[in-house]
Chain A
Amino acid sequence: MRRADLSLQVAVPALLVVAVGFVATTVSPETEIYFLNALVNVAIVVALYVFIGNSGVLSFGQISFVAVGAFAAGVMSVPQESKQGVLPQLYPLLRDHTIGNVASLLLAAVVGGAFAFVAGLPLMRLSGLAAGIATFAVLEITHNVLQQWTGIGPGPTTLSLVPETTGPFQATVGALIAIAVAFAYQRSRFGRVLRASREDPAAAQGIGVSVHRQRLWAFTLSGALAGFAGGLLVHFFGSITTEQVYLELTFLTLAMLVFGGMTSLFGAVVGALVVSGMDSFLSRSEDGIKVLGVTIDVPQGTRLIFLGAIMALVLILRPSGITGGREFSLAWLQRRR
């Protein structure tokens, strides 16, 4: 029973993702993008969860790793023949090489992880509000540099002509990889030690845990997953600007994590799927939706009003998120019934 319970903890989130990916193949292309977007969001939110959920330290900086991953994968996979035209000021090393889809995703993960390691080395000594603000500073710096430095990317213009390879298959597999890595980590010695330090930093240090080192591992792994998710994102959009991987994405993905319940993998996946679903439904009704023969066409912006209101309501009524921050288990279902 215990072992069955354990495998359900990873199987249920994985099944949810597969189900969404499967539905995505059966619907029309204009509806498909909502499902794919939800899957990419799952990958990003799971990456956030690996650090925030396990360490209990709030970070506003993880989207910087999504950003560098997205631009690394994007810049390196623009077809060679059009690169000169799209990115004229690129450094020769970047300009003269182009890599394939899978290689670009791996590159995104490596770049994200390496950047997170370098940034985390000094920052992981901080905790609480100071850590939140310092990681936010990383986001600001990343955004500013990516937006201005045309030697490494498109600068303030749009990076376009990136191959759109994130279809239902790649989105599903990508989200599954993120979930598998996150689960393996949280069951590992490192993950358990970090979770112990989340519950009581003083006691964890008392039994010989280096909280700084454990947080740094989690931050790096989270950065690698975030970079990977950024790769998925850029291959999904096909074109990207620095504004798309900045404040709004930070708040939206953090909200998804807290909404689902930030201390469990199940919470991260459910939060990402539910909030993405609501967001998609509302943005469809902004374009006009037919209900019982009556076309409801709400003004632009109504989507965010409803989304904000629903999220605030759920958080007020259920502060620990809709999953209560617990992993999926049958006992939990029975108790609820």
Chain B
Amino acid sequence: MTALAVVNAQTIVDAVGLGAVYALMAVGIGLEFGVLRLVNFAYGQLIMAGAYTLAFTATWPVVWSVLMCFAVVIALSAAMDLVVFRPLRSAPPAVMLVTTFAIAFMLQAIATVVDLRDGQLGEVATSIAPLNQAITVGGVDVRKVTIVAVLVALGALLGLALLLTRTTVGLHMRAAATDVSTARLLGVRANRVVGVAVFLSALMAATVAVILTVQSPFVQPDFALRDTIVVLVGVVVGGLNRLWTATLGGFSIGFATGIINGALPTDKTVYLPTAVFLLVILVLLVRPAGIFTWGRQAPVERV
């Protein structure tokens, strides 16, 4: 309980905000894994592309700038599916993963070249930065964008739940996620299902791009790279085989990072990654199939 005593309301609010953003990313990554069996490492570069779009359109009205961000991310995601994922659909998981590394590297390098045209690295998204103001509730600073992040995350999850359980396309997606070949035999059109999943995960990426850019308007080629890695870890720790467990995993790692950061003594916060990843190892050793996976045997290994 000593650790909890140090954790104040401010820490919890920040942790929830971080957890909400990570949960959105986890939904995007989890959706793609569900239907494609692909851990998409290049997901962070989608977010980065969205953030650059916001920075480059900083002179436009905010609404247009945000719409442009969504358009770019969705187009890039669709292109990635068409050029990379579709030919790789039957490849071994390790190959798919390494291919997404290659794509991630390439996109990051392209961003560097484009960014360096003005001679210096990094662009500032000036127009949407004002959304980052804080309001004070009972001595706790809550940034407006944190509220937005939490609401959007809840809304997106609710919408997704309805889509997956109440619509035909959702049924097809769940069927494909369980067993692709049988689903295809029964008339599920794989490309359409994948297309929907890729579109939805791009929506998540664009949303995250907007939220993250509001929080830190200075955009560099490695924007969101660190977050993507942490979320990838989180979704596996949560359990990648179901969307819910993956999402909870994403939220948990964001929340846990926030809490541990607040609980560590100030001179020890540099060891935050060590603390978080030790926790990750411990959880994986106890529950290799995922912390939120109940009563299901771990599937045959895929990577």
Write out, one digit per residue, whether chain A residues 292-336 have a CB within 8 A of any chain B CB (1) or not (0): 000000011111110111011001100110000000000000000
List residues 272-293 of chain B with CB under 8 A from any CB of chain A: 272-274, 277-278, 280-281, 284-285, 288-289
List residues 106-130 of chain B with CB under 8 A from any CB of chain A: 106-110, 112-113, 116
Q: Which of A68-76, A97-105, A124-132 contacts B (4 or more CB under 8 A)?
A: A124-132
Report the Cα distance A308→B113, complex, angstroms: 14
Q: Closest CB-CB distance, B60 to chain A, in whole Å?
A: 27
Report the Cα distance A128→B301, complex, angstroms: 5
A319's contact among B92, B107, B237, B271, by CB below 8 Å, is which?
Answer: B92
Q: Which of B97-105, B169-177, B178-186 contacts A (4 or more CB under 8 A)?
A: B97-105
Report whether A305 and B281 are in contact in the complex, using a CB–CB cutoff of 8 Å.
Answer: no
Those 3 A-B pairs whose CB atoms lie nearest each other, nearest first:
A308-B106, A128-B301, A304-B109
Report whether A140 and B106 are in contact in the complex, using a CB–CB cutoff of 8 Å.
Answer: no
Question: Is A245 among interface residues, defined by CB-CB distance under 8 A?
Answer: no
Report whether A307 and B105 are in contact in the complex, using a CB–CB cutoff of 8 Å.
Answer: yes
Q: Closest CB-CB distance, A281 to chain B, in whole Å?
A: 16
**Contacts A299-B113, A301-B112, A308-B109 hold; do A319 and B95 have CB atoms under 8 A apart?**
yes
Question: Is B87 among interface residues, defined by CB-CB distance under 8 A?
Answer: yes
Question: Is B151 among interface residues, defined by CB-CB distance under 8 A?
Answer: no
Report the Cα distance A125→B281, complex, angstroms: 12
Question: Is A251 among interface residues, defined by CB-CB distance under 8 A?
Answer: yes
Binding site for A on B (CB under 8 A): 39, 84, 87-88, 91-92, 94-95, 97-99, 101-110, 112-113, 116, 229, 232-233, 236-237, 240, 270-274, 277-278, 280-281, 284-285, 288-289, 298-299, 301-303
**Contacts A130-B284, A299-B113, A299-B116 hold; do A141 and B106 have CB atoms under 8 A apart?**
no
Question: Is A232 among interface residues, defined by CB-CB distance under 8 A?
Answer: no
In the assembled complex, which residues on chain B have CB atoms less than 8 Å from the CB atom of A308?
102-107, 109
What are 10 A-B contacts with C-beta separation under 8 Å? Answer: A132-B236, A133-B280, A134-B281, A140-B273, A144-B273, A255-B98, A258-B94, A258-B98, A307-B105, A315-B99
Report whether B102 and A302 are in contact in the complex, using a CB–CB cutoff of 8 Å.
Answer: no
Write out, one digit per residue, whether chain A residues 102-145 have a CB within 8 A of any chain B CB (1) or not (0): 00000000000000000000110111111011101110110111
Report the Cα distance A309→B109, complex, angstroms: 11
Q: Closest CB-CB distance, B119 to chain A, in whole Å?
A: 11
Report the Cα distance A144→B273, complex, angstroms: 7
Q: Closest CB-CB distance, A45 to chain B, in whole Å?
A: 13
A316's contact among B84, B92, B237, B278, by CB below 8 Å, is which?
Answer: B84
Q: Closest CB-CB distance, B34 to chain A, in whole Å?
A: 14
Closest to A319 in B: B91
Report whether A148 and B271 are in contact in the complex, using a CB–CB cutoff of 8 Å.
Answer: yes
Chain A, interface residues (CB within 8 Å), range: 35 or more
Report whether B233 and A145 are in contact in the complex, using a CB–CB cutoff of 8 Å.
Answer: no
Report the Cα distance A315→B281, complex, angstroms: 31
Which of the listed residues B91, B274, B281 has the most CB atoms from chain A within 10 Å of its own CB?
B281
Report whether A300 and B112 are in contact in the complex, using a CB–CB cutoff of 8 Å.
Answer: yes
- DSSP class of B's interface residues: helix, strand, loop or mixed? helix
Report the Cα distance A45→B112, complex, angstroms: 28
Report whether A255 and B101 are in contact in the complex, using a CB–CB cutoff of 8 Å.
Answer: yes
Report the Cα distance A316→B101, complex, angstroms: 13
Report whether A122 and B99 are in contact in the complex, using a CB–CB cutoff of 8 Å.
Answer: no
In the assembled complex, which residues on chain A have CB atoms less than 8 Å from the CB atom of B278?
137, 141
Report the Cα distance A145→B107, complex, angstroms: 30
18 new A-B contacts, CB < 8 A, other than A255-B102, A300-B113, are A123-B281, A128-B302, A129-B236, A129-B301, A129-B303, A130-B236, A140-B273, A141-B273, A141-B274, A144-B277, A145-B271, A148-B271, A255-B98, A299-B113, A305-B109, A307-B106, A312-B99, A316-B84
Report the Cα distance A300→B87, complex, angstroms: 30
B288's contact among A57, A126, A309, by CB below 8 Å, is which?
Answer: A126
In the assembled complex, which residues on chain A have CB atoms less than 8 Å from the CB atom of B229?
247
Report the Cα distance A122→B284, complex, angstroms: 10
Question: Is A58 among interface residues, defined by CB-CB distance under 8 A?
Answer: yes
Which of the listed residues A132, A299, A303 has the most CB atoms from chain B within 10 Å of its own CB?
A132
Report the Cα distance A262→B92, complex, angstroms: 11
Report the Cα distance A304→B104, complex, angstroms: 10
A122's contact among B101, B105, B285, by CB below 8 Å, is which?
Answer: B285
**Contacts A132-B303, A255-B102 hold; do A315 and B109 have CB atoms under 8 A apart?**
no
B106's contact among A134, A138, A309, A316, by CB below 8 Å, is which?
Answer: A309
Q: Closest CB-CB distance, B123 to chain A, in whole Å?
A: 15
Which of the listed residues B104, B280, B301 has the most CB atoms from chain A within 10 Å of its own CB?
B301
Q: Closest CB-CB distance, A143 to chain B, in whole Å?
A: 8
Q: Closest CB-CB distance, A133 to chain B, in whole Å?
A: 4
Q: Closest CB-CB distance, A285 to chain B, in whole Å?
A: 14
Report whether A137 and B116 are in contact in the complex, using a CB–CB cutoff of 8 Å.
Answer: no
Report the Cα distance A308→B95, complex, angstroms: 14
A137's contact among B103, B271, B280, by CB below 8 Å, is which?
Answer: B280
Q: Closest CB-CB distance, B140 to chain A, in whole Å?
A: 30
Report whether B274 and A126 are in contact in the complex, using a CB–CB cutoff of 8 Å.
Answer: no
Report the Cα distance A262→B112, complex, angstroms: 30
In the assembled complex, which residues on chain B have CB atoms less than 8 Å from the CB atom of A46?
none
Closest to B108 in A: A304
Report the Cα distance A286→B301, complex, angstroms: 41
Question: Is A254 among interface residues, defined by CB-CB distance under 8 A?
Answer: yes
**Contacts A301-B113, A304-B109 hold; do A144 and B274 have CB atoms under 8 A apart?**
yes
Report the Cα distance A163→B256, complex, angstroms: 43
Q: Closest CB-CB distance, B37 to chain A, in whole Å?
A: 11
Report the Cα distance A309→B42, complex, angstroms: 13
Report whether B284 and A134 are in contact in the complex, using a CB–CB cutoff of 8 Å.
Answer: yes
Q: Closest CB-CB distance, B239 to chain A, in whole Å?
A: 10
